[in-house]
Structure 1
Amino acid sequence: MTEKIWWNGEVAALYIAPAADEPMQEVDNALLVADQGIVGDRYFAQAGTHSGPDGQSYEVTLIESEAVESVQTENKIMVTAADMRRNIVTKGFALSHLVDKEFRIGDTVLRGIALCEPCPHLMEKTSHKVAVGFIHRGGLGAKIISGGLINVGDPIHS
């Protein structure tokens, strides 16, 4: 029997970057393509820092807005969701429970693959203090099972 997660959240923000090291661009909606990624994003184009045969095994990344706010408060530093270089910022949904589970955003279906710990690339882009603040709350990497258009405000549920 599949474990059911009984809370709902929503998409708080969406980001893409056309290539590695390019600034993240906030968008109102994004087209997710199964087994590929988000149209217009660096990983869809195989142009991301972790692209290639030794790169990530997921097509989209998520982070909780609550984690970003918590790191800002606890560490007294200014960091934004865009600084974290994740595609989907969530609100009201615990991402850590979604590893190896399917969940929906709007009409799309995703599967949580692994928690995203801060990497050396993040430390280069921000600071050691930011990277340390996001240990065990750096987000979730996911695979797109069934694609479609998602929008800011779309519900997230399992």
Structure 2
Amino acid sequence: MAAGAKRGINPDSPLARLIAGPMRPGRLVWIGLRPARRAALVSVERAQITVEAGLVGDHYTGRPGGPRQVTLIQAEDLAAIAGFLGRDDPVSPFDLRRNLVVTGINLLGLSDKRFRIGCALLEATGGCHPCSRMNEILGEGGYNAVRGRGGLTARVIEGGEIVVGDAVAVEG
């Protein structure tokens, strides 16, 4: 499907060409596994991703090929969320309960695209919206601070190992 086609953009338009244009690769800077519902995340340096289970060791595996097998957020958004809350230090990825933190790549630019992290091939499936627990975790206003900055959900197309430091790049 051409870039922007899901959004009703004419695939031959200048905007569609801009959306489909090149993106500078980013980098994976953090991996978190949620061993059980509401359990504290475990930070790891490497993990396996499979089509069947999503992120191996994460309690939320979704269904094979499901749209929410892996969740991602930008490190840059952790700082922005903190700013919206009046904090000086970035919000911790432990608080937002996303699986992967990336830097140097705009996750919105991955919408409707396939991308690689290490050996794994993922496909962006939508936004990762804040849950009702954000006020509980981040304090009053937490939910609204995360709105529009919650990251991205993805399905696994090809499994493989990912390691902190791996490139995050649009698949050609």
Which category of TM-score, normalised to the shorter sequence, fits these structures? 0.7 to 0.9
Instruction: Name the aligned partner's letter for residue 73 of structure 2.
Output: I
Could you tell me how far 1:122 is from its partner in structure 2? 3.2
More RCO (CA 8 Å, sep 6+): 1
Matches within 5 A, 1:1-158: 3-44=20-61, 57-77=67-87, 79-158=91-170
The CA RMSD over aligned residues, in Å, is 1.9
Could you tell me how far 1:125 is from its partner in structure 2? 3.5
Whole-angstrom CA distance in 2 between matches of 1:115 and 1:81 = 16
Could you tell me how far 1:35 is from its partner in structure 2? 3.9
Distance 1:131 1:58, change over 3 A: same
**Scaled by the length of structure 2, what TM-score is found?**
0.79
Bigger radius of gyration? 2
Whole-angstrom CA distance in 1 between matches of 2:165 and 2:57 = 20
Whole-angstrom CA distance in 2 between matches of 1:100 and 1:36 = 21
Whole-angstrom CA distance in 1 between matches of 2:43 and 2:21 = 31
Report how many residues are paired.
149
**Scaled by the length of structure 1, what TM-score is found?**
0.86
Instruction: Name the aligned partner's letter for residue 7 of structure 1.
Output: R
Q: Which runs of 5+ in 1 are unaligned?
A: 45-50
Identity level (%): 32
Task: Work out whether residues 35 and 143 of structure 1, in 8 Å CA contact, stay in contact via their aligned partners in 2.
Answer: no
Where 1:66 maps in the other structure, the secondary structure is helix
Instruction: Name the aligned partner's letter for residue 34 of structure 2.
Output: A
Whole-angstrom CA distance in 1 between matches of 2:60 and 2:148 = 23
Where 1:110 maps in the other structure, the secondary structure is strand
Could you tell me how far 1:61 is from its partner in structure 2? 0.1
